Amino acid sequence: IWVVLGLALATSQLHQYLIPISLGAMLLTVLIGPTTAGIINIALSILVGIMLDNSLNIMIMGITGGIIGTYLCDRAEQRNALVWAGLAVSCVNLMSIFSLEILSSSEWFSSLKISTWGIGSGLLSGVFLIGTLPIWENLFGIVTPIRLMELANPNHPILKRLLMEAPGTYHH
């Protein structure tokens, strides 16, 4: 939570829609589970919205992006699925920001221009998720399904060595 709030302060200096709110939900989905992630996502979205002068648009963007991120990360079994989750969050952010901006300003070109910051928000969420996930796994000793799938890969060098040196153990 503190990491996302710190990133919110840092990225809000560039633009308010660049904040990677869905990062918290995506990380917690992979590390703990989707139920906790959903609750924390709503709390983070409200906190960041309050930090930015009670911005309802930020809250809605954070909640919708976090829901999609939670759903897709819950089904992820490989790290490239997390990349796709970040891209999906980018698309959802783009659509939600565009919808909210078009409702408030009625100018579609300026709304579309502003909503492109949502793409950056989703991409930042995906990049920080993939970049920091191994750190969180090691720091808290959590074995995620993604890590288990990587360890079970038959192309892993240690499994190849086990097959060559102790085939009975490998097959058992």
Convert the pLDDT of each residue in 126-137 to its tens digit: 999 999 999 998
**pLDDT band, very low/low/confident/very high, at 172 (cuts 50, 70, 90):** confident
**Greatest C-alpha distance within the chain:** 69
Mean pLDDT confidence for 106-116:
88
Q: What is the pLDDT of residue 162?
A: 83
Q: Considering the entire predicted model, what is its pTM?
A: 0.85
Q: Of 29, 30, 23, 16, nearest to 44 (Cα)?
A: 23
Q: Of 31, 33, 23, 32, nearest to 1 (Cα)?
A: 23
Least confident window among 1-15, 77-91, 139-153: 139-153
Q: What is the pLDDT of residue 127?
A: 94
**pLDDT band, very low/low/confident/very high, at 24 (cuts 50, 70, 90):** very high
Task: Check pLDDT > 80 for residue 171.
Answer: no
Tokens matching residue 143: 């074995």
Mean pLDDT confidence for 119-131:
93
Q: What is the pLDDT of residue 64?
A: 96
Q: What is the pLDDT of residue 164?
A: 87
Of residues 166 and 89, the one with the higher pLDDT is 89
Q: Got the DSSP string for 115-157?
A: HTHHHHHHHHHHHHHHHHHHHHHHHHT---HHHHHHHT-TTSH
Whether the CB-CB separation of 62 and 22 falls below 8 Å is answered with yes
Task: Check pLDDT > 80 for residue 23.
Answer: yes
Mean pLDDT confidence for 94-118:
90
